[in-house]
Structure 1
Amino acid sequence: MNEEAVTEIISRKPELKAAKAKLESMQPGNYCIHQSWGFGQIKDYDAADKKLVIDFEDKQGHRMDPGFCVGTMQVLKPDHLLVRKELEPAAVEDLVSNKPTELIVELLKQYQNFAASTAEIESVLARVIGPIKYKKWWTATKKLLNKDPRISVPARKTGMYVLREEPVTLEEEIIEDYNATQSAKRRVVLAEKLLETAGDHLEELRDQLGLILHTLATAVRESNQLTSAEKLKGAWIRNDFARLLDVNVEDFEPSVVQILSDIQGLDALIDELPTNQQGRALKAIKASHPADWKEICFNLLKNSSGKFTTDCINFLIENGFGDEIKETLIRWQTEQNLKEPVLLWIVKNRHSKKYADLIQDMIQPRLLNSIFFAIDYEALQSSSARRIPLADILSEDRDLIPDLLGTADSETAKDLANNLLLNQGFEELTKKSLLARFIKLFPTVQSLLESDETQQSQGLMVSKESYEKAVSELEDLVQKKIPENSKAIAEARELGDLKENSEYKMAKQDQQVLMSRRNLLEADLQKAQITDFTSATTSNAGIGSVVTLNDEDGNEVTYTILGAWDSDPANQIISYQTPLGKSLLGKTVGDEVVLKIEDTESKLTVASIARYVDLVKS
């Protein structure tokens, strides 16, 4: 489009006079981005039709009015990344693969004032790298940009990436960001970053670090924004800065001891701390509670999970309490207080030489019973299809069941297999797979499996409330969770090599859990028979009965027998399918019930039988 054509367009539309330079840039051969049609190249200008001819990615030879394009199309400079991708694909690919920060520098040079928003950058990256692949690349590159002195990285997504006129050191950038914010939380985060490198530049930064120490100490002391965990973390950083600058930490408040004074809140505080700082918290607790720190640490161990379980064990061992750990774990097992995460730690470390003295004696059938109890409890606490790690490892570790059954007799194995069949933490196919491992060691368990298959074909008695809850969960799976997972799999597949693609593997694992849960719900709902428990009588125990029992010492306990999905152990409500529920069915007043758990037998006598529906009405 020559000067004459531009003049003619402006004469027809005088309001375009201010856009003369843009019109003049619409020359054949130049590349462009249109807000609707995307990336393209101007091929020609038809003077007779007064239209530009543009080849877009999905529409070749598209004809457009130059005046209309002024507000909807950007003509790209020859050194723009998208243009270079067309003309120098190898050079751009080298930037993408080997020089990611250089690519961002080149990109920022294209913008006015060398500044661009996250949205603007991502829009170009999606075209240069690909709409799916760029996300992983951009996540990794942002970490590199934080260390690049040429680029100012925004603290928030709404901020701008800026190419500096002169590079600054990482420490200078952190100090600049620290002084620019009034947020106590943000100051703690930035101070921690600065602490990692400040020691190498102590003399040149001493005055600025002193000011930061003062303001950080004020934030920890006075801010209401900080949680207890954040306040503890801030106090640690404050103290580390003080030691770096030879300042007496005793002058600061609150001290670490004061922050950790609330024993009741320590569980929540530990959970909120980063995993790499939880071990440090144990040392601080010992210093803060010299009289009862050991008891506190054992209580934290009891409720611990993940890496913190190992931290607790190691800390107690270092302080000479190895034998007490062993005794405590066995006591918790006896009391059925071994929680799922601690059990998970035990089975994962059962072959560890370091912990052999602590847990070797626990690797026996009784531990498998504790595992089943914990899995069943976790399943009852959640109506969703969330994974239970302890159940996963029982399925995935093919040596675990043989290891735990190594000292079992056939009757114990059969009891444990029956507990597995009644467990609500496994889907049916997984149960059969695990039972196959029982049967390989104890062939008599096969009869239990055949009996269970016969019983399953007879249907499930369930309450209306539990039925509706199961229907609601199935609808949520089919309409929301499974479609979302399918989308996640498709997106993850685009990221490349599936063997090394963690996003794809996780999405596929989630798919297996979701599909298994759906299949189980569909099968169970087909067999379900809703009952209102009105058919129960007071002459013998059945589904819908409230049974009171007396043990040999005269102690009284009451159980309510309800539907297959109505178990609530905390309130003494049991499913008719549980071992206890089965043993009570058909019993009358005066009958004895023998409960066998491992090698221990308890004799109970039925004292009375009432109807659940009568008690609810009253």
Structure 2
Amino acid sequence: MHPDVAKLVEAGRVSAPVGEKLSKIAPGSYRIHKGFGGGVVTEWDLFNGKVTIDFEKEKGKVMGLKLALEKTEAVEENDVRAQKVSQLGELKELAEKDPVELVARTIETRGANMTMDQLDAELCGSVVEESGYKKWWEKTKKALRESKRVSVPTKRTDPLVLRDESTGPGEALVDDLDQARSPKARVKALEAIQREAPLVAATEGLLARAFEIVNDAALKLMKLAPAQSLELIALRDEIAQETKQDDAIAVDAPKLAEVLQVADGNLSEDLNHVAAARLKRILEAFPPAFGDDWVGKVLSVFGKISSRGVSEIAKLLGEKDETKALNDHIKVALSRHALGPDSLAWICRER
């Protein structure tokens, strides 16, 4: 309890509980106001019940003690909101030299998570110049993702989350996959895992956890967005093959062939939304997906798929001794003007 307040308590002027509250707004303490931002108490007048606070957005603000206690919140000296008043120069230097640390500290003030809008409100225009904030944030966002210290969402409405210091880099990658909400974000997160596959595979059970997340997402997307479902499963299978951990994929996990069967009827459009690097693996799933009809199914997309897809289809048919079927299809399609520019370009180049 502050000495000045202790005297009032001893004299019976205020109760001990009230004295404890008053002590938290003593000169030198830090307060937060929703409108004025962080502030430091510069002086008080206990006799007249007033307090003066230098807020971030209004210096020398005089408030009644009761009102100040109701409308402001006490914060610790090491809180970024308090440091914006007492150590703004140091924070600006930190923004330049170690932006990851600055963001981590700022998020910590909100209980380990905050939205990007909240982060902007804390830093833009005060710690980081407004004119250069966008450029600073893009650079910082990249550094945050590389550091794995903070989980950075793809949507502004989702929160930035400060990771536990005990979280390893592999776990952080899987956490990012789990927290990704859009199909594209999940594919991107899984690609990040693929780049660090040996690291993730080194932790027992971690790949299995990642694959479980993928399986759940792929099942949900199977009818709504088959292209993303195909990409996720193809990526999953690539990672399992690269790490030699096929057993990490559950027995009842969705397979490429199953998604192709669901997507039948709109295959060309779905395949055109798949990354070229994964087309080969997906096309190789046509035989198990369609049985004896697989040649006709794959040829049905030949004239409507990308140049990479056209080449992969031709290779697949050649490997399966179905080149004659391809040539017959090309002749008929040419006579009907039913081939797209990519397949025509391939024919001119290869035939």
Once the two structures are superposed, residues 540-582 of structure 1 have per-residue CA deviations (whole angstroms, 9 ceiling, x without a partner) of xxxxxxxxxxxxxxxxxxxxxxxxxxxxxxxxxxxxxxxxxxx
In structure 2, how many angstroms separate the alpha carbons of the residues matched to 1:139 and 1:316? 40
Contact 2:38 2:85 in 1 (8 A): no
Counterpart among 270, 281, 298 of residue 303 in structure 2? 298
Residues 445-594 of structure 1 aligned to structure 2 (within 5 Å): none
> In 2, are the aligned partners of 1:55 and 1:61 still within 8 Å (CA)?
yes
User: Where does residue 419 of structure 1 map in the other structure?
Assistant: none
Structural RMSD (CA): 5.2
Q: What does residue 232 of structure 2 align with?
A: 234
Counterpart for residue 260 of structure 1: 260
- 1:286–1:294 Cα contact (<8 Å) kept: no
C-alpha contact 1:188 1:216 (8 A) present in aligned 2: no
* Partner residue in 2 for 1:53: 52
1:200-225 superposed Cα distances (whole Å, 9 cap, x missing partner):
453x3354434654675577568867
- TM-score, normalised on structure 2? 0.64
In 2: Cα distance, 1:46 partner to 1:162 partner: 40
SS of residue matched to 1:264? coil
Displacement of 1:316 in angstroms is: 8.4
Match of 2:271 in 1: 270
Local SS of the residue matching 2:203: helix
Residues 116-171 of structure 1: per-residue CA shift (max 9 Å, x gap): 4336544422443256754554455344434435556689856573452x432121
The answer (yes or no) to whether the contact 2:171–2:200 under 8 Å persists in 1 is no
Other-structure match for 1:117: 114
Change beyond 3 A, Cα 1:32–1:139: farther
How far does the alpha carbon of each residue in 1:212-261 deviate from its partner, in whole angstroms, 9 at most, with x for none? 54675577568867631232123213322432325389x87754345335
Aligned AA for 1:265? N
Q: Normalising to structure 1: TM-score of the pair?
A: 0.40
Contact 2:114–2:159 at 8 Å: present in 1 too?
Answer: yes
AA of the residue aligned to 1:117: M
Residue 172 of structure 2 aligns to a residue whose secondary structure is helix
The yes-or-no answer on 1:194 pairing with 2:193 is: yes
Identity %: 21
- 8 Å CA contact 2:214, 2:236 repeated in 1: yes
Whether contact under 8 Å (1:213, 1:242) holds in the other structure is no
Please give the secondary structure, in 2, of the residue aligned with 1:300.
coil
Measured in 1, the distance between the counterparts of 2:213 and 2:83 equals 48
Tell me: CA distance 1:11–1:268, structure 2 relative to 1, closer, same or farther (3 Å). Answer: farther
Please give the residue correspondences for 1:330-409 in structure 2 after superposition, counting only pairs within 5 Å.
none
1:175 shift after superposition:
4.5
Task: Give the residue type in structure 2 aligned to 1:171.
Answer: G
Does 2:4 match 1:4? yes
Q: Does 1:106 align with 2:137?
A: no
1:595 alignment counterpart: none
Greater displacement, 115-124 / 90-99: 115-124
Change (3 A) 1:32 1:317: same
Superposition deviation, residue 99 in structure 1: 1.1
- Give the equivalent residue in structure 2 for 1:78: 77
In the alignment, structure 2 segments of 5+ residues that lack a partner are: 287-293
Alignment partners' CA distance in 2, 1:282 and 1:122: 43
Does residue 141 (structure 1) correspond to residue 146 (structure 2)? The answer is no
Unaligned 5+ runs, structure 1: 302-309, 344-353, 359-618
For the residues of structure 2 that align with 1:27 and 1:263, how far apart are their CA atoms? 72
Contact persistence 2:222–2:259 (CA under 8 A)? no
The one-letter code of the counterpart of 2:63 is M
- Residue deviations 1:449-480, cap 9 Å, x none? xxxxxxxxxxxxxxxxxxxxxxxxxxxxxxxx
User: Which structure has more RCO (C-alpha within 8 Å, separation ≥ 6)?
Assistant: 2
